[in-house]
Structure 1
Amino acid sequence: MSRSWQRALALLWGIGRAQVLVLTAVTVLGAVVPALQVHLTARTVQLVADGFGGTGAAEQGPALLSGGCLVALSVVGHFLGVLRTYQETLLRTRLSDAVTLLLMEKAARLSLQQFEDAETYDALQRATREAAFRPYQAFTGFASVVSSLLSFLSVGAVLLHNDIPLALALCLAPVPSALVGLAFSRRTHAVQNARAEDRRKLIYLEHLLTNDQTYKETRLLDLAPLLLSRSKALVDEFYGVDRDIERRQALATALAGLVSTLVTGGAVLLAVHTALRTGQVGALAGYITGIALIQTSVQTLFASATQLYENNLFLGNLFAFIDLPSESVAQGHRALPERLRQGIEFRHVSFTYPGSAEPVLEDVSFTVPAGTCVALVGSNGAGKSTLLKLLARFYEPTSGTILVDGRPLAEYDLAELRDGIGAIFQDYIQYEAPARENIGLGRAGRLDDEQGIRAAADRGRALGFLDALPQGLDTYLGRWFSGGRQLSGGQWQKVALARAFFREAPVLLLDEPTAAVDAAAEAEIFGLLRKVHEGSTSLLVAHRFSAVRTADHIVVIDAGRVREQGSHDDLMASQGLYARLFRLQAAGYR
């Protein structure tokens, strides 16, 4: 048994031990039924033939009793089938939910570097495509192999007693079909793996046409025909490849299956010939029933073994994603204080993204004194947002050190470090959830803190319009769920601010927090932001100099290097890069 099968069965055992035990028992019992059917069929037919013409109980009784046992056996088989279906449904449902949670838990442990790598998304697509059913099929396939093997042994014992060469021929007849199945299983697995990225493209195209956040632009630009055309091209490509595989497999299976059919037909004719010579009608009935059952058992055995092989290939996709390395960095046991005492220092920090030869940051050094706000200014791609990622330890510097209160980041416990960081990003999340959760998720352990959530909403100037919603703070925001209400861009921004207020973190990262709002809303929001980082140590990334001027200190970054730094007045007086950028932006408002 392969490692993937073992892990799949262990997973099933862990989530549905009772169902596994019941299904195992039902499988074993069900495997004995065919042999009993062969025996009772032969006995009943022979008793009827021997007592033909008799009218007394002495002649009819044994035949009726044997026939009654055959009927009772059928009833038992029926109820075993019902019980098996019931337990399989329970196990399949629990497994699907458990594997989905397992994939979500694994995704939560991956690093940002992995989420910025297309190979991770390919691995996730392969895993999720098979996650709902492959582990379950591994169990049912294994159970089917055991059941078929037991049926084969029990019925085969009867046939071997009568004709050993013929029984061996019946056993070997399905081998060509099994070999065909194995070959095409490998081919199917290779094709599905190769198209993982194209599958993601199809999912993305579907997302563009089925999401409220993309609706306006896709409709205004009339992108539906183009997106549908590209989707159809992918679907047709998938179908064409799958159709060719299925056509070749059908032809090969038909030719291979002809061997099994001819052997079975020959066995039946031989049984008829034997009965004509001996007059043993019961033996003929039992033999024909046995031939059908053993042929079915052997075919099922080989088919299940083929399916097990295919499941093993696809289970490899599931466990390949589960086995991806989780986020792991060197860390100590320190926790951030409630308020920094010294501040943050970037000391000769350089960084190159994995897989790239060009450094994003080179020898960057500056300090953020405790309780102050430092703005990072520069053109797109200068490396400003990368500095925030490094501070949150989403990436590690290629060289240099980042210190918090004089201690390297590696001395802090990673969870404690991130727990002490709040953030408002340009692409902040608009949670399709109740308003109270949109704020309370800033500190998820305090979702029941009604007073704290309302206070944060009030500080963020969001309480008024949230209380005016149909269910107040219990109203769902967004349109994805029934009863939801959509907010304006400025209102969503204030909700994000309230979330930052609620977090009460000693370090605050602000990455273009007002890029999507108008000038009036920006002025109000930055007035609120000053309250957010009162007592906090803040890093602000912004392109609008109206925002930058509110900072205590400004660091100008160009091509990954610090070009100049100081206050707004000092930088304007120096007539350097900052002054030039400021004048360019100011000219646009004239």
Structure 2
Amino acid sequence: MVSILGRVRGVPGGRPRHFPGRRVGAATYGGSMRDTARGIRFVVARTWRASPPRVMVSAVVTLLLAFVPALQVLALATLVERLDGEHTLRDVLAPLLVIVAIVGLANPVRAVATTLRVDADHTVIADLERELMLRAARTPPRDLARAETTARLQKQVEVAHASAQYLYGQLVGAIESVVATIAVVAALATFSRLAALLTVLALVPALIAGRLLAGVWRRYWDVVGPIFGRQRYLSNLLVRQRSAVELATLGAGDAVAARHGRLWRDLVGHRIRLSRRELASDWIVGAVSTVFVLGALVALLVGTDLSPVAVAGVTGVTGAAASVGMAGVQIGRVLSAAPQVTEIADFLAGVPLTDDDGATRPSPSGIEELRVRGLTHTYPGRAAPAVADVAFEARRGEVVALVGANGAGKTTALHALLGLLTPDAGTVTLDGLGPDEVGQRPWLRRFATMVQEYERYEFTVRENLQLGRSPDDAVPDEALWRALELAGLTDLVRSLPDGLDTQLGEQWDGTTLSGGQWQRLSVARVAVRDAPVWVLDEPTSAIDAESEEAILERLVAGKEERITVLVSHRAWTLRAVDRIYVLDGGRVVEHGSYRALVAADGPFSRLFRNQLAGAADGSGVTDRALP
């Protein structure tokens, strides 16, 4: 059985692969029994918290149903005894009515119990997915930047839908089957103890198979978890309006759909291989259990001397065999799913749900100084550092800029500044404190950030602007309009049908914005965030020169309230900044004011030579970006 269950072949790309092996012992094949018990306790507790009435009623009804097979055996035995010709109709009426009641009412009552369990399952999965999404939202950005973190998040969501959603119902079903087996075996013991013992032993193969399948399921999820993530990504590309239109325009939709189809085939192939091993397990369990049931029947017939009452015993053995089979299936599913659910419990326990230091709470004020010293970082697999001994600083009321060609190290420096990566060496401090001393979420509260690859959130204007604030922190309309004025969007928003509450984006039949308007909205969102340090990565790259100049003038006009770090590929945007740091090859090779750097005719002048020449001769190429 181990050889049948312990291996699943196949990985993306068609190359055969064995699931990673596990050590033999208590934790072999899917984790220890302690993990299984933890998973069961977790689901029961979540189900009870989500719906106590359903849990209580379904548990009571299920326990009542568990005694039905035993009652049927005893009632049938009594009926057979009284049908020997020496009893009247009155004598057989009671056991007959019991049998009729069992036959007539068992299924409707079972339907009630099943409905309650299904309702409880749905309630649990809704609550569990809500919390999974909340914990994902509160996962530190430094962790989210790692591929293994997002892969683990995706796995938890898939496991929740495939295993956790049904574990309570499976557990209740297993309890019902076990109790039914015990009750029937107790009834059989009145006919033959050996038959009762052999019937109980029929449950053992199912328990062993359940433990083995737990390991197969765990290794299955280790393999298919990343595939699910890629498949969902491709699916979103094909159905999300912006990406779908672009793919259709490029004529690339078929290629993406083909990749999506290949991943689905991989997933289906893994599931089919797993199903075959489950099927093989069922056949083995069925064959071994059949031997025990046959032995129980023989022991029963011998023990009752082939008397008519043996009919009830035979009914009891067959009923017990059915209960044992169902118990084996349910227990096997519980043993298979519970260790996976334990991983969900561990994940949820790893990120505190309290928001005492939430990144969306009001930002601390009064940050006086930003200082970066000796910043050095090399990415895995790279020989040269992305940044080496980088240093820059800014005080409140100053605007400083980081400039450089692509790959110069600007993004790495910004990620270190925001605490999104841990540098190999160097320090980043605000008023003398670094992210490790402050804590990552409190550290992020100090920043309002606009990234170059900003997202177009298809919410209302108001919802877009308030994304950087707590949902409980109502921002006055006056503050929203001031932010829109800073970004030059006031006239546009006033012209929209519902003003601040206008739905944006084509996906939900909202108002369409241009690329520059989306970028301005991102600038306005930074202003609503109202943090003491602003980090702006190419904040006006999609905006025309005239509008850009007006926005930068307003940014500079309010600079006394904050520290501003700017990244730009346009010389024009750098004229009003206090200090410019030029990066090349991951190092700061020059710094100073705009005028000083132009006069020095060094790396800065060479970097912006075409733009500076255009500004001097009036040719109008000042908007030209760096190569």
For the superposition of Structure 1 and Structure 2, which TM-score range results when normalised by the shorter chain?
0.7 to 0.9
Query: What is the deviation of 1:575?
Result: 1.6
Q: 1:455 is aligned with what amino acid?
A: R
- Determine the structure 2 residue equivalent to 1:25: 60
- Determine the structure 1 residue equivalent to 2:9: none
- Determine the structure 2 residue equivalent to 1:447: 474
Question: d(CA) in 1 for partners of 2:216 and 2:257?
Answer: 29
Q: Deviations over 1:398-445 (max 9, x none)?
A: 333333345556665655543332222222232222211112334334
- Determine the structure 1 residue equivalent to 2:505: 478
Query: What is the deviation of 1:460?
Result: 2.9
TM-score (norm 2): 0.82
SS at match of 1:496: helix
Q: How does 1:336-355 map to 2 (within 5 A)?
A: 338-340=365-367, 342-353=368-379
Question: d(CA) in 2 for partners of 1:168 and 1:146?
Answer: 19
The alpha-carbon distance between structure 1 residues 447 and 357, as it changes in their structure 2 partners (threshold 3 A), is: farther
Q: Is the 8 A contact 2:210 2:335 kept in 1?
A: no
- Determine the structure 2 residue equivalent to 1:163: 192
Equivalent of residue 513 in structure 2, options 487, 510, 513: 487
Higher mean C-alpha displacement, 139-148 vs 411-420: 411-420
Question: d(CA) in 2 for partners of 1:407 and 1:289?
Answer: 77
Question: d(CA) in 1 for partners of 2:53 and 2:541?
Answer: 56
Question: d(CA) in 1 for partners of 2:264 and 2:328?
Answer: 32
Q: Is the 8 A contact 2:158 2:225 kept in 1?
A: no
Work out whether 1:120 is the aligned partner of 2:149: yes
Equivalent of residue 175 in structure 2, options 136, 146, 150: 146
Question: d(CA) in 2 for partners of 1:267 and 1:408?
Answer: 73
Question: d(CA) in 2 for partners of 1:216 and 1:504?
Answer: 35
Q: 2:78 is aligned with what amino acid?
A: R
Q: 1:501 is aligned with what amino acid?
A: A
Q: Deviations over 1:248-300 (max 9, x none)?
A: 5434533542343465467668878998953x3xx244223212221112222
Query: What is the deviation of 1:178?
Result: 4.9
Query: What is the deviation of 1:158?
Result: 2.2
- Determine the structure 1 residue equivalent to 2:101: 72
The alpha-carbon distance between structure 1 residues 140 and 561, as it changes in their structure 2 partners (threshold 3 A), is: same
The alpha-carbon distance between structure 1 residues 133 and 219, as it changes in their structure 2 partners (threshold 3 A), is: closer
Equivalent of residue 43 in structure 2, options 8, 17, 35: 8
- Determine the structure 1 residue equivalent to 2:7: none
- Determine the structure 2 residue equivalent to 1:186: 215
Q: Is the 8 A contact 1:514 1:522 kept in 2?
A: yes
Question: d(CA) in 1 for partners of 2:235 and 2:437?
Answer: 45
Q: 2:66 is aligned with what amino acid?
A: A
Query: What is the deviation of 1:186?
Result: 2.6
Question: d(CA) in 2 for partners of 1:513 and 1:145?
Answer: 59
Q: 1:478 is aligned with what amino acid?
A: G
The alpha-carbon distance between structure 1 residues 153 and 416, as it changes in their structure 2 partners (threshold 3 A), is: closer
Higher mean C-alpha displacement, 80-89 vs 318-327: 318-327
Query: What is the deviation of 1:567?
Result: 1.2
Query: What is the deviation of 1:448?
Result: 5.1
- Determine the structure 1 residue equivalent to 2:348: 322
Q: Deviations over 1:482-515 (max 9, x none)?
A: x522211122222222222323332211111122
Q: Is the 8 A contact 2:195 2:300 kept in 1?
A: no
SS at match of 1:402: strand
- Determine the structure 2 residue equivalent to 1:462: 489
Q: Deviations over 1:512-544 (max 9, x none)?
A: 112233444433443443345353220001111
Question: d(CA) in 1 for partners of 2:416 and 2:296?
Answer: 75
Equivalent of residue 436 in structure 1, options 462, 472, 476: 462
Q: Deviations over 1:136-181 (max 9, x none)?
A: 5433333333322221222112222222333333333454455445
Question: d(CA) in 2 for partners of 1:68 and 1:101?
Answer: 49
Q: 1:6 is aligned with what amino acid?
A: R
The alpha-carbon distance between structure 1 residues 266 and 409, as it changes in their structure 2 partners (threshold 3 A), is: closer
Equivalent of residue 288 in structure 1, options 297, 303, 314: 314
The alpha-carbon distance between structure 1 residues 248 and 142, as it changes in their structure 2 partners (threshold 3 A), is: closer
- Determine the structure 1 residue equivalent to 2:12: none
Question: d(CA) in 2 for partners of 1:356 and 1:322?
Answer: 34
- Determine the structure 2 residue equivalent to 1:204: 233
Q: Is the 8 A contact 1:371 1:535 kept in 2?
A: yes
SS at match of 1:132: helix
- Determine the structure 2 residue equivalent to 1:375: 401
Question: d(CA) in 1 for partners of 2:528 and 2:152?
Answer: 36
Q: Is the 8 A contact 1:138 1:311 kept in 2?
A: yes
Q: Deviations over 1:350-375 (max 9, x none)?
A: 33457766433222222213201111
Q: 1:25 is aligned with what amino acid?
A: V
Question: d(CA) in 2 for partners of 1:135 and 1:51?
Answer: 56
The alpha-carbon distance between structure 1 residues 43 and 103, as it changes in their structure 2 partners (threshold 3 A), is: same
TM-score (norm 1): 0.87
SS at match of 1:487: coil
Q: 1:129 is aligned with what amino acid?
A: E
Q: How does 1:234-245 map to 2 (within 5 A)?
A: 234-245=263-274
Q: Is the 8 A contact 2:506 2:512 kept in 1?
A: yes
Query: What is the deviation of 1:235?
Result: 2.3
SS at match of 2:454: coil
Higher mean C-alpha displacement, 196-205 vs 246-255: 246-255
- Determine the structure 1 residue equivalent to 2:563: 537
Q: Over aligned residues, Cα RMSD in angstroms?
A: 3.2
Q: 1:391 is aligned with what amino acid?
A: L
SS at match of 1:431: coil
Q: Is the 8 A contact 1:174 1:257 kept in 2?
A: no
The alpha-carbon distance between structure 1 residues 117 and 326, as it changes in their structure 2 partners (threshold 3 A), is: farther
Q: Is the 8 A contact 1:426 1:516 kept in 2?
A: no
The alpha-carbon distance between structure 1 residues 246 and 409, as it changes in their structure 2 partners (threshold 3 A), is: closer
- Determine the structure 1 residue equivalent to 2:549: 523
Question: d(CA) in 2 for partners of 1:336 and 1:115?
Answer: 22
Query: What is the deviation of 1:582?
Result: 0.9
Question: d(CA) in 1 for partners of 2:184 and 2:301?
Answer: 19
The alpha-carbon distance between structure 1 residues 41 and 350, as it changes in their structure 2 partners (threshold 3 A), is: same
Question: d(CA) in 2 for partners of 1:385 and 1:394?
Answer: 11
Q: 1:138 is aligned with what amino acid?
A: L
- Determine the structure 2 residue equivalent to 1:56: none
Q: Is the 8 A contact 1:351 1:399 kept in 2?
A: yes
Q: Deviations over 1:27-84 (max 9, x none)?
A: 32222222112112232344355368xxxxxx22232333223333455534542432
The alpha-carbon distance between structure 1 residues 252 and 368, as it changes in their structure 2 partners (threshold 3 A), is: closer
SS at match of 1:63: helix
Q: Is the 8 A contact 1:375 1:542 kept in 2?
A: yes
SS at match of 2:608: helix
- Determine the structure 1 residue equivalent to 2:24: none
- Where does structure 1 lack aligned partners over 5 or more consecutive residues? 53-58
Q: 1:20 is aligned with what amino acid?
A: V
Question: d(CA) in 1 for partners of 2:523 and 2:351?
Answer: 34
- Determine the structure 2 residue equivalent to 1:55: none
- Determine the structure 2 residue equivalent to 1:109: 138
Q: 1:69 is aligned with what amino acid?
A: V
Q: How does 1:259-298 map to 2 (within 5 A)?
A: 259-261=288-290, 264=293, 278=307, 280=308, 283-298=309-324
Q: Is the 8 A contact 2:402 2:568 kept in 1?
A: yes
Q: Is the 8 A contact 1:500 1:532 kept in 2?
A: no
The alpha-carbon distance between structure 1 residues 369 and 150, as it changes in their structure 2 partners (threshold 3 A), is: closer
Q: Deviations over 1:436-466 (max 9, x none)?
A: 1112334334435233223332443323222
Q: Is the 8 A contact 1:501 1:532 kept in 2?
A: no
SS at match of 1:428: coil
Q: 1:38 is aligned with what amino acid?
A: V
Question: d(CA) in 2 for partners of 1:166 and 1:418?
Answer: 69
The alpha-carbon distance between structure 1 residues 353 and 237, as it changes in their structure 2 partners (threshold 3 A), is: closer
Q: Is the 8 A contact 1:51 1:60 kept in 2?
A: no
Q: Is the 8 A contact 2:191 2:300 kept in 1?
A: no
Q: Is the 8 A contact 2:597 2:604 kept in 1?
A: yes
Question: d(CA) in 2 for partners of 1:555 and 1:539?
Answer: 11
SS at match of 1:556: strand
The alpha-carbon distance between structure 1 residues 417 and 191, as it changes in their structure 2 partners (threshold 3 A), is: closer
